[in-house]
Amino acid sequence: MNFSSREKIMFQTVFSCSRDENLSLLDYFRYLHAERVADQICSHPLFAPSLLWKKWASETFLGFSLEKLLVQGGHAFSSSVEVGLAEGPVDRFTKARRALGAMLNAFRTDQMRLGRDPEYLKMLFKGFYPHATVYPEHATWFSLHPNPYFGSLESHLLRAQRSLPERMLEVGAGACVNVAFCHGLNPLMRTVVVDLPETVFVGYSFLKAVLPAIRITLPHEVDRPITDIQSDVVFLLPTQTDTIPDGSIDFCFNMSSFQEMDMLTVNHYLQLMFRKLRREGSLVSVNLEVSRYIGGNALKNYDFSAFGSQPRTQVAPFGTALVGHVEGLQMMQVEVLKEDRL
């Protein structure tokens, strides 16, 4: 055991869990270490995380008491507390540089805080979609994580076909706001989430908080094809994608995580989604046109050729406005249909 420190500003949120929920998370945590899951994922030939995402994921923490669960991660829920880096002795030059940096970044900090304000985001969204409104099915929880809620709503409005799928596959679901969005409109839907081990803790906690009755299967509980599992949501690790039968998914989705992967990994996930989709099933990707994180990661390099149909590409104006402080970045929605070749 050694002392360590954080390398990134993160957000802490406290949840109140049932005994069974705590035990499920503890069992999952033990499984990750007992099976050396991190080593398996980092050495995976198709879905190894980028060094950036590996670093970010390592900053996700869980803390248990007998009554509360503390989650630290990159998701700024409305009730979360921002926690910074450990402060140590600094010289005058460092203090001056930090002061200048704080001044230059003041606008960006304000934007981040506004990104947690549901009323501000609702007003911003109305500017692009004046007739849109929060669905009544989501009224009790949308403000708990409003930024990605309105991102999910925008994506839904931009889709050519808004019919709700019976079975969805989402890669990199994060806090699972889009999962909650879709399940709120179609409680009978079944969802498969493929994500990194640390992020599963956040998604599980958020879903259980906003949809208490939702049935969830965690990765350590998956021992058969997901079509044989009677749960509303099944979480899988990248090493478990073989449990998804080919042609069993109606709709595939990714928002804001392809842009954090190496380009080769993105295209491996696109191939995975193609295989798992049924004929005439569709894929929606909502990501930055050019990644600000990963060199070579750009929409022009996404390989949709296997789908056999022309991708429908459009700017997502609300999503773009949220990154408006970074000149030249556009959030793009791509929708592509798996062509029926029979």
- Packing angle of the helix pair 118-128, 146-158 (nearest 10 deg): 20
For the chain, which residues make up each domain, given as ranges?
1-342
DSSP 72-99: EES---TT-EEE-PPP----HHHHHHHH
Q: Using CA of residue 95, residue 96, residue 98, residue 102, what is the dihedral sign?
A: positive
Tell me which of 3.90.1150.10, 3.40.50.150, 3.40.50.11810, 3.30.9.10 is the CATH number of domain 1-342: 3.40.50.150
pTM over the 0.75 mark: yes
Bridge-based pairing state of the strands 81-83 and 10-16? antiparallel
pLDDT at res. 106: 45
In the block, which residue shows the tokens 């049932």? Answer: 18
pLDDT of residue 107: 45
Place of tokens 């080769």: 264
**How many angstroms separate the CA atoms of 238 and 49, rounded?**
9
- Alpha carbon distance 115, 121 (integer Å): 7
Place of tokens 């503890």: 26
| Residue 315 identity | V
For residue 252, CA distances in Å to 85, 93, 247, 277, 308 come to 37, 50, 12, 7, 16
At 91, which amino acid appears?
D
Task: Compute, in degrees rounded to 10, the torsion defined by CA atoms 216, 176, 120, 160.
Answer: -110
User: String of b and e for 111-127 (b: at least 16 CB within 10 Å)?
Assistant: ebeeebebeebbebbee
Q: Which residues contact 14 (CB under 8 A, 6 or more apart)?
A: 68, 69, 70, 71, 79
Burial of 258 (0-12, 13-18, 19+ CB in 10 A): buried
- At residue 255, the pLDDT reads 98
Q: Which parts of the chain register pLDDT below 50?
A: 105-110
What local confidence, expressed as pLDDT, does residue 91 receive? 64
**CA pair distance 74, 96, nearest whole angstrom:** 28
- From residue 55, alpha-carbon distances to 50, 74, 162, 258 in Å are 9, 12, 36, 16
| DSSP secondary structure code for residue 48 in this structure | P
- Give the separation between CA 105 and CA 124, rounded to whole angstroms: 22
* C-alpha–C-alpha distance, residues 272 and 244, integer Å: 10
Pairing of strands 10-16, 68-73: antiparallel
Torsion over CA: 144, 177, 54, 315 (sign): negative
pLDDT of residue 31: 98
